[in-house]
């Protein structure tokens, strides 16, 4: 595959994924309770082998997977992505015991994973985190709070980033695997614009030991960035999937909707707007694939490319979905309409895993490096 076109086998796989998402996952998503983990959906993702693909796929395959699921069932895409985000540090940096204990359960959809990085005072500036890991005779005790954590407080384990050393910025941060039943760990849900749970976690002297470390002490931020550099392009793929769904819905609507003596597509203002939506979507798609390809090649400029892909794709998806709503009119705002759903879903990716402003900062730093 080049950076500009998919092979026929890849196109076929994407079509199969879209059909699977529409036929099997979407009915389960409809039955889910908003703001709660949809465990039947996770089980189905495990039974179809898609959760297993999270740990064998390269960045490009992950992007194709997320884009295809997002096109037909955003809930399935998000459930899958959150499993990968929470468990990827275990797969890449965990001990054999940690991997043997948790990864088979994640792959099967029986264990829910979560990535606990953000804090009340450390959102976009992740290096400012303050969760303290206070030394004890046999390890550390975690004291502090995490907030805006997807899958909290319902996850079965958390990848937690805490400060083990008093050092500036990212230095002195360590990563831990913390089971949800660890003493002193509590959580509560937050009322958010989200179909999945997002909550806060309180750490009241939660005990962790060397066996809970993910990677080396003081090198936890590297674990976090390794995960985010993989998943940022695929957040862009999620956005592209939503943009393509909105675009296709708009093409159907404007080709059929009669107005002013013809159909909407006959109006130049409408046709030009749809052309702009399509062009931006294609540009975002190609940038996402290029960033994923760079990651799979081990290129040195992955941070810049990943940031560019997430930035352009998420901003593009917001533009496309917004204009799709405008061209559909009031019907698009009716509860249950595809675009009403996408309008709610498309906003958050411009914030999580690094807001658009953070992506611009990363890009500028890499350019001037």
Give the catalytic positions in this structure: 353
Q: Is 69 exposed, middle or buried (0-12, 13-18, 19+ CB in 10 A)?
A: buried
Quote the DSSP letter at residue 330. Answer: G
Quote the DSSP letter at residue 192. Answer: -
- Beta strands (DSSP E) in 69-196 are 113-116, 132-135, 140-150, 157-163, 173-179, 185-189
The residue behind tokens 């395959």 is 61
Which positions ≥6 away from 305 have C-beta within 8 Å? 233, 290, 291, 294, 295, 299
How far apart are the C-alpha atoms of 287 and 70, rounded to whole Å? 18
CA distances from 235 to 12, 95, 314, 317 (A): 22, 27, 8, 11
CA distances from 55 to 16, 66, 67, 143 (A): 20, 14, 17, 31
Q: Which two tokens stand for residue 306?
A: 């990943």
Which positions ≥6 away from 89 have C-beta within 8 Å? 115, 159, 175, 177, 214, 215, 223, 224, 226, 227
Give the count of beta carbons closer than 10 Å to the beta carbon of residue 4: 8
């Amino acid at each position: 595959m080049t950076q500009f076109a998919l092979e026929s086998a890849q196109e076929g796989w994407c079509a199969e994924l879209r059909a699977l998402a529409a036929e099997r996952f979407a009915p389960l998503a409809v039955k889910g309770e908003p703001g709660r983990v949809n465990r039947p959906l996770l089980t189905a993702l495990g039974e179809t082998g898609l959760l297993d693909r999270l740990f064998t796929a390269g960045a490009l395959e992950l992007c194709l997977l997320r884009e295809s699921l997002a096109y037909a069932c955003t809930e399935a895409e998000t459930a899958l992505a959150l499993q990968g985000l929470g468990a990827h540090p275990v797969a890449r940096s965990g001990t054999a015991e940690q991997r043997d204990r948790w990864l088979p359960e994640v792959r099967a959809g029986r264990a829910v994973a979560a990535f606990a990085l953000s804090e009340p005072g450390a959102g976009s500036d992740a290096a400012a985190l303050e969760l303290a890991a206070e030394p004890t005779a046999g390890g550390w005790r975690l004291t502090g709070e995490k907030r805006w954590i997807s899958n909290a407080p319902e996850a079965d384990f958390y990848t937690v980033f805490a400060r083990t050393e008093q050092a500036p910025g990212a230095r002195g941060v360590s990563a831990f695997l913390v089971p949800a039943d660890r003493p002193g760990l509590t959580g509560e849900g937050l009322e958010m614009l989200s179909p999945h749970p997002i909550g806060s976690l309180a750490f009241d002297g939660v005990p962790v030991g060397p066996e809970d470390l993910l990677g080396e002490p003081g090198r936890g931020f590297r674990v976090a960035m390794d995960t985010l550099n993989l998943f940022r392009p695929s957040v862009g793929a999620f956005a592209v999937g939503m943009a393509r769904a909105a675009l296709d819905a708009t093409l159907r609507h404007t080709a059929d909707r009669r107005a002013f003596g013809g159909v909407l597509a006959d109006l130049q203002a409408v046709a030009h707007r749809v052309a702009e939506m399509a062009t931006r979507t294609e540009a975002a798609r190609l940038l996402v694939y290029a960033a994923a390809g760079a990651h799979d090649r081990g290129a040195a400029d992955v941070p810049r490319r990943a940031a560019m892909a997430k930035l352009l794709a998420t901003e593009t998806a917001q533009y496309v979905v917004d204009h799709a709503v405008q061209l559909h009119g009031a019907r698009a705002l009716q509860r249950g309409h595809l675009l009403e759903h996408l309008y709610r879903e498309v906003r958050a990716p411009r914030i999580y895993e690094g807001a658009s402003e953070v992506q611009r900062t990363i890009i500028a730093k890499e350019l001037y490096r």
